Amino acid sequence: MKVSYRQRFCKDGTHYNQGISMTQGELDKLKLAIQSEQTLNFPREKEYNSCGHARLFLTDLKREGDVVFMNITQCKFINLFCKLRLLPRNTYIIVC
């Protein structure tokens, strides 16, 4: 995975200034990890969520074409799941 700091905007106007590239297979594994976390009632919530609202913010990933836009909670979860050191900011994934 490669980190990029190129700015992007999603259709609703939200600004994203950190991105990573990922294959479709890696993205599918990430989606399964989020679904597992939701199904098991957020057992690792304290490791990636400081505001206490994981149930609101750890949702399915929003995709627009080849770009997936994430919120900060999803970014922190990906740090935990992929063992990355992304900054806690709005992040996007480029699907290669």
* Residue, of 2 and 74, whose pLDDT is higher: 74
- pTM for the predicted model, two decimal places: 0.81
The pLDDT tens digits for 28-73 are 998 998 888 888 888 777 777 766 666 778 788 878 888 999 888 8
The pLDDT of residue 20 = 92
How many Å from the N-terminal Cα to the C-terminal Cα in the chain? 10
The per-residue b/e assignment along 69-95, b for 16 or more CB within 10 angstroms, e otherwise, is bbbbbbbbbbbeebeeebeeebbbbbe
The pLDDT tens digits for 4-17 are 888 898 888 888 88
Torsion sign, CA atoms 72, 78, 81, 87? negative
C-alpha pair distances (Å), 3 with each of 12, 46, 50:
23, 25, 24
Q: What is the dihedral of CA 31, 35, 37, 41, to 10 degrees?
A: 160
The pLDDT of residue 53 = 67
